[in-house]
A and B are shown apart, each in its own frame.
Chain A
Amino acid sequence: MGLGQKSKMHNAITRREMLAGAAALVGAASLTSCARQQTPLVPSRVSIVRAPAYDQTLYDTVRRILDLHGIDVHGRNVVLKPNLVEFDTQTSINTNPLLVHAALEAFQARGAASVRIAEGPGHRRNTLDLADAAGYFKIVPKFEDLFVDLNLDDVTRVRPAKQFSKMEKFYLPNTALGADLLVSMPKMKTHHWVGATLSMKNLFGVVPGGIFGWPKNVLHWAGIEESIADLHAAFPRQFAIVDGIVGMQGNGPIQGVPKFAGVLVAGRDPVAVDATCCRIMRINPFRIGYLKLATGGVAAQISEANIRQSAETIAAVATPFDLIPEFQAFRLENS
């Protein structure tokens, strides 16, 4: 079944499902109302740093980002999770290896006990060949020793804390679960099913293909946006560094075209980081379903006023990413 057909199926709601959904919404609205009254909003910090090219200056740029956020990983285990998707080296599908290497060195320099690179591609099974084609073997010394294929890692069965999706259980890789800090390092891309793929959607790569298969379509059947929210909740110790130097616009995450944005966007709160990236891409973050789910209905959490930006402003770096027709309503100016 094509993913498009699945999406169509997912949108077809029976009367019973609609009634159940309405009841749930009433309940959720009450809970949300309570949450608004009782929980003070603590603004998350997100830094936007200019990075004009994939060159040696990245090493200093990433160190500055970690300084900005006061990252303390002394004696800790850090796992860097880039986005590796396809072999095509002519486009901007994969996270650039130079950025990942810069992050590796920066975390090592801050005294991390171990820094590993881990990914479980969702489309291609031959992960190491894919990493090789994407330049990781060339750029990262001893890459094979540092790398864990999350598709084939040892796993632990995890029940989603809130269960937004239909997934009653996940098998998740121990390398990711055991990390003191999981660093999501996605490419800044548009996405033809959810609007934008950033640090939260990047966690699809932790779901082991060795168990669920390729593509990780089980997550599409369970609800793409809901699965993203489930995975976000399963990893509370995260940091995000989004590769927005050259992202992808149009029919992302695979068939789009490169889009220069010249930035790295980083922070401890992936929800705030992704909302900021959306604004840079001129996409309305309030229209992104998984962001809405992850905020638990407290939309103010991703309002621009409640995210503490550092370094560059959004306005200074914003550049509209082309969207496919189905997502034109997600444009900031159209919302």
Chain B
Amino acid sequence: MTIDLLASKQNPDGGWPYLRGASWTEPTVYSLLALLATGETAGAARGLRWLLGMQRSDGSFPPRAGIDESSWTTALVALLPPERLGLAAHRRAVRWLLQSTGLESTRIYRMREWLLGNARPADQEFAGWPWITGTAAWVSPTSLSILALEKEARRNPSAEISNRITEGRNFLLSRMCEEGGWNHGSVNALGYQSSPYPETTGMALAALRGVDDPKVRRAIDKALSFLGDCRSADALNWLHLGLLAHGRMPASFAPPAGLAYRTVPESSLQLLVAEAKNGRDVLWG
């Protein structure tokens, strides 16, 4: 999809849909990142206005209008340049991210488990981020939150941000599948090992940029093995971004013929991948 075609998918309210229909926060942010990365700012102002109208009183963002839930999409919004989103809105989004954790990491939950005499499972040692408030932490929202906070740390470094990034990365490393890579964050169920997914593996690798750890090296090998037979545009986008983050994307790789970029996030991320391949830090800069 070209940037012009992406711009043509913008809804009259300023946001973008996944495919068609109502505007959602996720495709709107990815579209804005793509538009801003390529210097096409015509529709960006309307998109940013739509986003600002979505911010909740706690600083978070819902997945779409009319949904009374603080969500993971706050991390995506925090990836946008603060000067474009608005400094106050950006600060409130980052503040919400810093305070958000999976339910299993909250003091109340841990106190309850302690009172019940339940030992804390190893995979609950570190705090990640949930999809929506009041639920468990998972790999995707944790990875995106780390990316947002890493970007913020470059602008406004602080111990608080650094600690949350470290904690989040430890969460990811503790949730890696035995064979390398990640699924949603469940390492095993009833003793059966879970299998990794290409999209979450790419996403987690992007969030582990600069981390030198044997587990990361194993995950990179897994990501490379996924490249061969992956036929999902979404998954290939994230494998690209994850491997590029570690300088391990094979230059000779060509996506399979006929690969379909069906949704707005897939097309937007494809544009961002192209920018990243040209050396631009689309998610990290």
CB within 8 Å of B: which residues of A?
Answer: 1-6, 8-9, 12, 14, 87, 123-126, 128-130, 132-133, 144, 149, 152, 154-155, 157, 171, 192, 210-215, 217-218, 221, 251, 255, 324, 326
Contact = CB atoms under 8 A, between A and B. Distances in A.
A9 B19 contact: no
Q: Which of A14, A129, A326 has the most CB of B within 10 A?
A: A129
A211 B199 contact: no
Interface of B: 18-19, 21-22, 24, 26, 63-64, 66-69, 71-72, 102-104, 113, 116, 118, 121, 123-124, 130-132, 135-138, 140-141, 183-190, 192, 195, 197, 199, 231-235, 260, 262-263, 266
A210 B189 contact: no
A129 B233 contact: yes
Contact of B18 (A123, A144, A152, A192): A152
A154 B102 contact: no
A124 B197 contact: yes
B186 A3 contact: yes
A255 B190 CA distance: 12
Contact of B184 (A4, A192, A212, A214): A214
B60 to A, nearest CB: 14
B22 A154 contact: yes
B64 A128 contact: no
Chain B: interface secondary structure?
loop
Contact of A126 (B21, B24, B232): B232
Identify the 4 closest CB pairs spanning chains A and B, nearest first. Answer: A213-B131, A129-B232, A1-B136, A126-B234
Contacts of A4: 188-190
Nearest to B102: A1
Given A126-B199, A326-B190, 10 more contacts: A2-B185, A5-B104, A128-B263, A129-B260, A132-B260, A133-B231, A154-B21, A157-B68, A213-B72, A213-B140
A289 B124 CA distance: 28
B161 to A, nearest CB: 24
Contact of B67 (A3, A124, A125, A171): A171
A126 B136 CA distance: 21
Nearest to A220: B136
Given A1-B123, A212-B131, A215-B184, A129 B190 contact: no
A1 B137 contact: yes
B242 to A, nearest CB: 16
Contacts of A212: 131-132, 135
Contacts of A157: 68
B234 A9 contact: no
Given A212-B132, A215-B184, A221-B135, A2 B189 contact: yes
B199 to A, nearest CB: 7
28 contacts: A1-B102, A2-B121, A2-B187, A2-B188, A4-B190, A5-B121, A14-B116, A126-B232, A126-B235, A128-B262, A129-B232, A129-B234, A129-B260, A149-B18, A149-B19, A154-B21, A192-B190, A210-B24, A210-B64, A212-B131, A212-B135, A213-B140, A213-B141, A214-B138, A214-B184, A215-B138, A255-B192, A324-B190
